[in-house]
Structure 1
Amino acid sequence: MARLVLALFAGLTAAEDCQADQGSCSTHLLQAQVDRRAVSRHHWPTFRGRSQTAASAEGPPRDLGSPAWSWQHPKGQYHTIMSGGPIIDKDSNLYLMTAQGIRKFSPDGEELWTFATPGRSNNEPSLYGNMLLSTTTTGVAFAVDRNTGKAVWANQLATSAGGDCGYPAAHNGVFVFGLDEGEDKRIVGGNSKVFGLDAQTGDQLWEYSPDHVVWNLSPLFPDDRSVVFMDFTGGMYKLSLQTGKPVWKTPARNSSESFSDGGPSLGQNGKVYTCSNYANSTGGVGSTGVARAYDLESGKMAWEQILSEPCNSFPAVGTVRGHDGLATVFLPGAFSGAPDLKASILALDANTGKHLWQFNTESFTGIMNLAAGEVEGLVARQEEGIQVMCGPAHWSAPTIDGNGTVYGLRMNGKLYAVHGPQDSVDTKELNPSLVRDPATGVVAEVRAIGSCGLHGAMAWAPGLYAMSTCDTLLVYRTTTP
C-alpha cells in the first residue's frame, strides 16, 4: 500500500557562498557558530538549512500552541499541496512551493507575489544569491528573481522527472538536481540522472547516472569542489562539483535491494550521515532501517546501526540535551498502509553511533490507514485538479534548535519537540503538553497540528520558526538564544 501511494503521488558570489575560515564551508563548525557568521547570507536557503546539518542556533518557539500567523489556500485548507516546506532569505521573507506555484511571504505573513512554475513542481526550491532555483516534473530547471518573482532563466533538460519531493540546491556557481523519471522493479518515480548547471545562466555543465535511482534528491556541499548525495538504497556518491566526475562511490552495505524515502545530512565533524533501509527492506511495517556515517574524504563507512523500524527520513546533526558531544538524530517509522504504526525519535553519538536516548511515540492508525489530512483533502484536491494525495513518509526531517531540542512532524498530524532525558529538562519548561516516555524517561512537548508534512517541513531564522504541513504554513516567534 505504501509503495502504491508513493508510486502514484509521489546574486551571491562564490566567496559569499562559502566564506568560512581558509575558504572552506561551514560544515565543520558548531551549529551556533555556523548560524551567526556571514550575516549577509540567507537564513535557511535549503531544506537542511545554511549549514546543511539541520541544526540552528535559534532559541525555541515561545509557544507551540500559538503561531504568530498561518497561511492556507484562499479557497480552503485542502485546495493545495505544499512541496516540502518554507525557505527563508536574509530579510526573513519566506518562500513556499505549492501546487499552484511559488508564493513569497513577508516575515509578518503578507503575501508578496506568486510565480507560476513552467510545469508542475513537487520540489522545494532553494535560494542562491537573488535567485530561487527549482525544477518541474516536465524536465525543466528554472530560476526566479526573489525580489520581483519574475523568471530569470529556464532550461528543458529532460522530458520527465519523478513525482517525489526533491530538494535541488546550488553552491559555488553550480545548481545540482535530478531529472529523467526512474524505472525500477521496487518503485515508480525518482530520477535516473543528476545534473549540474551554471546557476547564473542555466547552461548545462555535466550529467551523471548513479547506480540506482535518486529519490528526494538532496545534494550536499561539504566544500567548494564537491557535491555529495544518496541513492534510494542508501548508496553514497561524491562528485566533482564543476565536472560531475566521481571522486568516490560507496554502495550501501548489504542493501542493494532496499528502498528508502530518506536521505543524508552533513555533520560538523567531516562526516555525512544517512537514513535508509537494510537488506531488502522497502520501508514498510516489520522491516528494518539503518543509520550510517561516512567519512567525507574517503567515502568509507565509519559506523552503522541497524534500527528496529524503517528509516524513511533524513538525519539532523548537532548538540542535543543529555549529551556533551555531537549527536545525530534519526526518526524511524514505517510508511502508511497499516494500522497501529509505531515510531520514535532516536539520538546517537555522531562519532561512534552509540545509543544516547530515545523517545517512543504512541501508535497511530489513520483513516484508511493513511496519514492525517490525506482522506480529508481528497475532494478539495480533486476539485482543484491537483494531485489528490500528499504522500508523506512517516516523519518530516528533524531539526535541532539552539537549546538542543529536536523537532519532528509525524504522519499523525502532531509535532514532537523532544527535550531529551528528564533530568536535562528545566522544570520551567513543563506544561500540559509535555509527555514522558515511561520506558526511557525522555520527555517531549506534543502538539496536534492537524495534517502530515513532507521532509522539508521546517525552517529557522532569527526570531522565527516556520513549519509547513501538506496544507498549512505556520510561523512562530522565537526567543533570543
Structure 2
Amino acid sequence: MSGREAETYLNAFDASTGEGRWTRSIEQHTPKHNSSYADSLTASDDGLFIQTFRGLRALDFDGTERWKFENTGPRFLADTCHPAITDGVVYTGTYGSTRVRDDDDEYSGSEGLFALDASDGSLLWEYRPDEYATDLTFSPTVADGTVYLCFLGRGIVALDTADGEVQWTRAVPVDTPATVRNGTAYVATQVFHERDDAYEYRLYALDAETGETVWDRPVGGAWSSRGISHDGSALYLSSDRYLLSLDAETGEVRWRAFGDASDWHSEIGWFDDDHAPISGWGVPVVIDDVVYAGDGEYGTLVALDSETGELLDAAPKRRWGASGTEGSPAVADGVAFYTTPHFLHAVDTNVFEFW
C-alpha cells in the first residue's frame, strides 16, 4: 500500500524435499492490482497455466513462458479464475469486470468464454452472451463434450466444446463454478432478501443435458466457497462457517463439521483450547475416503472421514492469531500440500507430521 511497485512470482519446488527448482517473475504491478492468485494455477500434460490481471499465461515446466492471451476486462477484480484444459484445448472465461458506462449512463460489457489451442494460444472459438451478464465470470468446467460457464448472480450456460454452440442456459443466482459428475451439474447460489436483511444460500443439482432442476436444498447461513467436490456419491462444500457434506443424488445433508453459522456448534464437535470453528475458503479434496480441507483463518489443514465427518487429524495444531490461507489443498503420492502466507507446507497424509 506504499505506492511502490510489487512483483508476483511463480515458484517450482521439489515435491519430496521442498528444495527450490526455479523462480519466474509473472507480474509487476502497483498496490491497486496487488492480490494473491489463489487457485488460479492449473497444471496439465500441456503445461502450466496461470491467470493474472494482465491475461492468461502459459508456461513450460521449466518456467519458460510459451504464450499469453488477453482475457481481462477493464476493471480488475481480485477473484479466482483458473482455466480448464482438456484434449489440448484451454477453456478460459473473462477475468475481471468488462462492465463499462456509456454516454447514456448505461452499463454494458463483453464477457464470455474462449477456447484456445494449448500449444500456441491461438483462438479456436469464443462465446459471448447477447447482453452484458455480470461483474464476475467463474472458472469453466468441462465434462462429456460440454463446457459449463457460470456468471455470478445470473446463471449458467452449457456450450459444445467443439464449436461453442449453446446447448442450454439456466437463470439461477450462481455463486460458484459448476461441478459436473454422473450427468448432473452442481452450483451453489446466494440471494439477498431485503425484508429479512439476510442472504439465502442454496445448492442446486441440474440435469447436465437440459439444465432442468433435479433438486435444490438450503445449505444454512454460510457463504459458499470457490467450488464443490464430488467423490462419486457425495458432495463436499466448504463455507466461511463449516464444512458440509450432502448426498449427491438427493441433496440430503449427510454431516456438518465444525462451527454452525448460528450458534458456533455443530453435530460433530471439535472445540478445545487449541482449536476453533473452521473457516474454509478453498475447495475440499477427497481421496481414499478422506476429506482434506484448508482453514482460511488459522492456517490448518484438516482431514476428516468422508463417511462420517469425524476429525482424523490436523496439521499443524491451530494457533490463535496464526494466518490462514485462501487456497485449496493438493494431494498426491501420499502427501498433502497447502499454503499459508509466506509458506508452502508438505504433510504426510498417513501420520500428519511435518517433514
- Say whether the fold is shared (TM-score over 0.5): yes
| Alpha-carbon offset, residue 362 of structure 1 | 7.0
Match of 2:82 in 1: 167
Match of 1:105 in 2: 13
User: What SS is found at the alignment partner of 1:170?
Assistant: strand
Match of 1:461 in 2: 332
Supply the AA of the counterpart residue of 2:163: T
Find the partner of 2:139 among 218, 221, 232: 218
Change (3 A) 1:109 1:248: same
Distance 2:160 2:307 in 1: 42
| Alpha-carbon offset, residue 196 of structure 1 | 1.7
Find the partner of 2:219 among 295, 300, 307: 307
| Alpha-carbon offset, residue 447 of structure 1 | 3.7
Change (3 A) 1:158 1:400: closer
Match of 1:201 in 2: 120
Pick the structure with more strand per residue: 2
Change (3 A) 1:354 1:151: same
Change (3 A) 1:289 1:354: same
Uncovered stretches (5+) of structure 2, i.e. residues with no partner:
30-35, 102-108, 263-278
8 A contact 1:411–1:451 mirrored in 2: yes
Match of 2:238 in 1: 331
Supply the AA of the counterpart residue of 2:13: F
- For the pair 1:345 / 2:266, whether they are aligned, the reply is no
Change (3 A) 1:411 1:109: same
- For the pair 1:115 / 2:30, whether they are aligned, the reply is no
RMSD: 3.6
8 A contact 1:290–1:304 mirrored in 2: yes
Distance 1:412 1:215 in 2: 28
Find the partner of 2:51 among 135, 138, 147: 135
Find the partner of 1:179 among 76, 94, 98: 94
Supply the AA of the counterpart residue of 2:11: R
Distance 1:220 1:214 in 2: 19
| Alpha-carbon offset, residue 114 of structure 1 | 1.3
Distance 1:275 1:413 in 2: 25
Supply the AA of the counterpart residue of 1:448: R
8 A contact 1:290–1:310 mirrored in 2: no
- For the pair 1:358 / 2:265, whether they are aligned, the reply is no
Supply the AA of the counterpart residue of 2:63: G
Find the partner of 1:270 among 172, 183, 188: 183
8 A contact 2:169–2:211 mirrored in 1: yes
| Alpha-carbon offset, residue 446 of structure 1 | 8.9
Greater mean deviation of Cα atoms: 349-358 or 172-181: 172-181
8 A contact 1:276–1:310 mirrored in 2: no
Per-residue CA deviations over 1:125-173 (Å, capped at 9, x if unaligned) read: 21232411123212x3321111x21111223455645321211222122
Match of 1:51 in 2: none
What TM-score do the two structures reach when normalised by structure 2? 0.74
Distance 1:226 1:462 in 2: 30
Distance 2:51 2:310 in 1: 43
What TM-score do the two structures reach when normalised by structure 1? 0.56
8 A contact 1:195–1:207 mirrored in 2: yes
User: 1 or 2 for the larger relative contact order (CA 8 Å, sep ≥6)?
Assistant: 1
Distance 1:215 1:452 in 2: 25
Pick the structure with more helix per residue: 1
Taking only the aligned residue pairs, the percentage that are identical comes to 22
